[in-house]
Amino acid sequence: MISATRSALLIMCAAAIPLTVAACASTAASRGRSEMTFFVTSAGPGKGADLGGLEGADRHCSRLAERVGAGGRTWRAYLSTTGSGGVNARDRIGRGPWRNARGVVIARDVDELHGDNNINKQTALTEHGEIVGGRGDAPNRHDILTGSTPDGRAFSEGQDTTCGNWTSSGEGSAIVGHHDRMGLRDDAPSRSWNSSHPTRGCSQEALRSTGGDGLFYCFAAD
């Protein structure tokens, strides 16, 4: 017969196994986030496309990253601006490679990012490592603010493609991409991660009306 003491030890060990697995999973998740160099914001600042300009958007990226243990990097929002001193999104984000919160490489460099990259619904994760709802989900949040052409550059002057360079939550429009690579049609714009279509306005409600929520991409530039 097994002694009472040995029985108690066996029960304790059996109970400890799930805890050990959970601890290992938690450690792996933490390691993945510490190595993360790319994510989709889990939420925007809450004022539609008014992100406080590029500086405000960068701060939002840094704030979200710090909350999950991925601070200490130079985080940049993937956003272009137009007009005098306009900026190309592709020039803001460093050289790569970039990994999501689970350690999956989404692109090795800027050329691959704007070519045959690995961005899709399963890899374009939030800073928490969570999937963002896309086409067919409720809610659909696949419109990601970029203000950019397919090759990651700013549009020419004469049209508002950035909601007043990310300072407007009212009139205007911004170019968005589809993180899930899906749209109303099976064409290149619908499948574009960074340049699908303009929004109907710049308010939170206007962004949501076409399948968005004021989300944007964040990249570690160092």
Each residue's pLDDT tens digit, 187-200: 999 999 999 999 99
Would you place residue 32 in the very low, low, confident or very high pLDDT band (cuts 50, 70, 90)?
low
H helices then E strands: how many in the chain? 6, 8
Q: Is the pLDDT of residue 9 over 50?
A: no
- Separation CA 113–CA 89 (nearest Å): 12
Q: Fill in the amino acid letter for 42.
A: S
Q: Looking at the domain that runs over 35-220, which CATH code has it been given? A: 3.10.100.10
Would you place residue 158 in the very low, low, confident or very high pLDDT band (cuts 50, 70, 90)?
confident
Q: For 33-44, how does the pLDDT look when each residue is reduced to its tens digit (9 = 90+)?
A: 679 999 999 999
As a whole number, mean pLDDT of residues 7-36 equals: 50
List Cα–Cα distances, 219 to 126, 170, 188, in angstroms. Answer: 12, 27, 24
